[in-house]
Amino acid sequence: MPRDRIRLKSLWDRITDAEEAALHVRDGMTVGMSGFTRAGDAKAVPAAIAARALHDPLKITLMTGASLGGNVDRELTEAKALARRLPFQADPTLRSAINRGEVMFIDQHLSETVELLRSRQMGPVDVAIVEAAAITEEGGIIPTTSVGNTATFAILAEKVIVELNLSQPAALEGLHDIYIPTRRPHRDPIPVLQPESRPGVPYIPVDPAKIAAIVVTDRTDSAASILPGDADTTAIAGHLTEFLQSEVRKGRLGPSLSPLQAGIGSIANAVMQGLADGPFSGLTMYSEVLQDSTFDLFDAGCLRFASGSSITLGPERQRDVLNRLEHYKPKLVLRPQEVSNHPEVVRRLGVIAVNTALEFDIYGNVNSTHVGGTHMMNGVGGSGDFARNAYMSIFVTKSLAKGGTISSVVPMVSHVDHCEHDVDILVTEVGLADLRGLAPRERAATIIRNCVHPTYRELASDYFKAASARGGHTPHLLEEAFSWHLRLRETGSMLPRQTVLA
Amino acid sequence: MPRDRIRLKSLWDRITDAEEAALHVRDGMTVGMSGFTRAGDAKAVPAAIAARALHDPLKITLMTGASLGGNVDRELTEAKALARRLPFQADPTLRSAINRGEVMFIDQHLSETVELLRSRQMGPVDVAIVEAAAITEEGGIIPTTSVGNTATFAILAEKVIVELNLSQPAALEGLHDIYIPTRRPHRDPIPVLQPESRPGVPYIPVDPAKIAAIVVTDRTDSAASILPGDADTTAIAGHLTEFLQSEVRKGRLGPSLSPLQAGIGSIANAVMQGLADGPFSGLTMYSEVLQDSTFDLFDAGCLRFASGSSITLGPERQRDVLNRLEHYKPKLVLRPQEVSNHPEVVRRLGVIAVNTALEFDIYGNVNSTHVGGTHMMNGVGGSGDFARNAYMSIFVTKSLAKGGTISSVVPMVSHVDHCEHDVDILVTEVGLADLRGLAPRERAATIIRNCVHPTYRELASDYFKAASARGGHTPHLLEEAFSWHLRLRETGSMLPRQTVLA
Residues B454 and B326 in one domain: yes
Instruction: Compute the count of residue pairs across chains A and B with CB atoms less than 8 Å apart.
Output: 236
Place A500 in a pLDDT band, splitting at 50, 70 and 90: low
Cis peptide before A124 (omega within 30 of 0): yes
Residues A200 and A260 in one domain: no
The pLDDT score that the predictor gives to residue B154 is: 98
Residues B193 and B256 in one domain: no
Last residue of a domain, one of A188, A217, A246: A217
The pLDDT score that the predictor gives to residue B502 is: 52
B437 with A191: Cβ contact below 8 A: no
Using one digit for the tens of pLDDT, what is the confidence trace for B432-470?
Answer: 999 999 999 999 999 999 999 999 999 999 999 999 999
Last residue of a domain, one of A153, A185, A217: A217
Q: Indicate the average pLDDT of chain A.
A: 96
The pLDDT score that the predictor gives to residue B500 is: 58
Instruction: Kindly give the residue spans of alpha helices, DSSP state H, lying in A365-415.
Output: 383-387
Q: Is the pLDDT score of B501 beyond 60?
A: no
Using one digit for the tens of pLDDT, what is the confidence trace for A419-445?
Answer: 999 999 999 999 999 999 999 999 999
Q: Is A382 annotated as a binding residue?
A: yes
ipTM rounded to 2 decimals: 0.97
The pLDDT score that the predictor gives to residue A228 is: 86
Considering only CB atoms, B258 lies closest to which of A99, A185, A478, namely A185
Last residue of a domain, one of A217, A241, A273: A217
CA A363, A365, A369 angle in degrees (round to 5)?
150
Place B24 in a pLDDT band, splitting at 50, 70 and 90: very high
CATH classification of the domain holding A431 = 3.40.1080.10
Residues B420 and B480 in one domain: yes
The pLDDT score that the predictor gives to residue B266 is: 87
Using one digit for the tens of pLDDT, what is the confidence trace for A32-42?
Answer: 999 999 999 99
Residue A98 lies in a domain: yes
Place B496 in a pLDDT band, splitting at 50, 70 and 90: very high
A189 with B193: Cβ contact below 8 A: yes
Residue B222 lies in a domain: no
CB A61 within 8 A of CB A84: yes
The pLDDT score that the predictor gives to residue B13 is: 97
- The domain tally of chain A equals 2
Residue A498 lies in a domain: no
Q: Is the pLDDT score of B499 beyond 90?
A: no
Shortest Cα–Cα distance, A432 to chain B (Å): 16
A120 with B252: Cβ contact below 8 A: yes
Q: Is B149 annotated as a binding residue?
A: no
Residues A13 and A88 in one domain: yes
Using one digit for the tens of pLDDT, what is the confidence trace for A165-199?
Answer: 999 999 999 999 999 999 888 899 999 999 999 99
> What DSSP state is assigned to residue B366?
E
A101 with B471: Cβ contact below 8 A: yes
Residues A281 and A364 in one domain: yes
Using one digit for the tens of pLDDT, what is the confidence trace for A222-248?
Answer: 998 888 889 999 999 999 999 999 999
Provide, rounded to the nearest whole percent, the portion of chain B with pLDDT above 90.
94
Place A499 in a pLDDT band, splitting at 50, 70 and 90: low
Whether A249 has its CB under 8 Å from any CB of chain B: the answer is no
Whether A465 has its CB under 8 Å from any CB of chain B: the answer is no
Q: Indicate the average pLDDT of chain B.
A: 96
Mean pLDDT across B40-52: 98
The whole-angstrom separation of Cα A32 and Cα A223 is 22
Whether A246 has its CB under 8 Å from any CB of chain B: the answer is no
Instruction: Kindly give the residue spans of alpha helices, DSSP state H, lying in A398-453.
Output: 440-450
Mean pLDDT across A346-357: 98
Q: Is the pLDDT score of A1 beyond 80?
A: no
Catalytic residue among A75, A288, A338, A420: A288
Residues B97 and B161 in one domain: yes
Place A501 in a pLDDT band, splitting at 50, 70 and 90: low
| Residue ranges of A 333-362 with Cβ closer than 8 A to chain B | 342-344, 347-350
- Catalytic positions of B, please? 288
B185 with A194: Cβ contact below 8 A: yes
Residue A22 lies in a domain: yes
Shortest Cα–Cα distance, A284 to chain B (Å): 11
Q: How far is CA A83 from CA A106, B324, B457, in A?
A: 11, 58, 28
The whole-angstrom separation of Cα B305 and Cα B69 is 26
Residues A478 and A343 in one domain: yes
Q: Is the pLDDT score of A502 beyond 70?
A: no
Shortest Cα–Cα distance, B225 to chain A (Å): 25
Q: Is the pLDDT score of A363 beyond 70?
A: yes
CB A405 within 8 A of CB A494: yes
The whole-angstrom separation of Cα B341 and Cα B418 is 16
Give me the residues paired with residue A159 across strands: A127
Give the structural domain span for A306.
231-491
Residue B409 lies in a domain: yes
Place A358 in a pLDDT band, splitting at 50, 70 and 90: very high
The pLDDT score that the predictor gives to residue A387 is: 97
Using one digit for the tens of pLDDT, what is the confidence trace for A100-120?
Answer: 999 999 999 999 999 999 999
* CA A442 distance to own-chain centroid: 31
**B41 contact partners, CB below 8 Å, separation of at least 6:** B33, B34, B35, B64, B68, B69, B70, B72, B131, B146, B221
Shortest Cα–Cα distance, A379 to chain B (Å): 11
B414 with A478: Cβ contact below 8 A: yes
Q: Is B378 annotated as a binding residue?
A: yes
Q: Is the pLDDT score of B225 beyond 90?
A: no
Residue B440 lies in a domain: yes
Residues A143 and A180 in one domain: yes
The pLDDT score that the predictor gives to residue A180 is: 97
Residue B275 lies in a domain: yes
Per DSSP, the three-state class of A469 is helix
Residues A293 and A270 in one domain: yes
Considering only CB atoms, B184 lies closest to which of A119, A349, A416, namely A349
**A496 contact partners, CB below 8 Å, separation of at least 6:** A459, A487
Residue A319 lies in a domain: yes
CB B174 within 8 A of CB B329: yes
Residues B104 and B156 in one domain: yes
The whole-angstrom separation of Cα B78 and Cα B52 is 12
Residues B263 and B407 in one domain: yes
